[in-house]
Amino acid sequence: MKTNKIWVFLSLWSLILIACGSDVVTPDTGALEIKITVGPLCPVEPCNKTKDELKQIYETYSVVLSNEQTKNVVSTQKVSSVETYGEVKMANLPVGEYELTIKPSNLFTSQNFPKKVGIEKDKTTSLQIDIDTGIR
């Protein structure tokens, strides 16, 4: 009788462990969308850059997202050119606080970066970033 009770107990315990072990824990995530403008692009107006020239300018930049506490890089993404501005979209980012920087950096970008960014569960955080080229 004692052996049966032990066997029943072990069987139930095994079922509990199997049931608990099969749960997949997925982290809460959010997204980040950034619209980027770069300027001035010419020392005098009007500045008539072609679409190819604008694309080349915007695609030289990258956005680097790092964990605010550990400083580990979470994502690095090149800026995509969209007509007269650039954009970066990052999805499935774990909820938390981050630091955002722009590469390459210069005297003007180093004054405004890193920026603190919070990612919330099931939400898209939108940012507008203006990069000053220093051209005057």
23 is written with which tokens?
């749960």
Between the two ends of the chain, the Cα-to-Cα distance in Å is 92
Best CA proximity match to 104, nearest among 38, 28, 51, 44: 38
pLDDT digits (tens, 9 = 90+) for 21-48: 556 677 899 999 999 999 899 998 888 9
Q: What is the C-alpha to C-alpha distance for residues 31 and 118, in angstroms, rounded to an integer?
A: 10
Cis ω for the linkage preceding 46 (within 30 of 0)? yes
The pTM score is 0.77
Q: Over the stretch 75-123, which tens digit does the pLDDT of each residue have?
A: 999 999 998 899 999 999 999 999 999 998 876 677 788 999 999 999 9
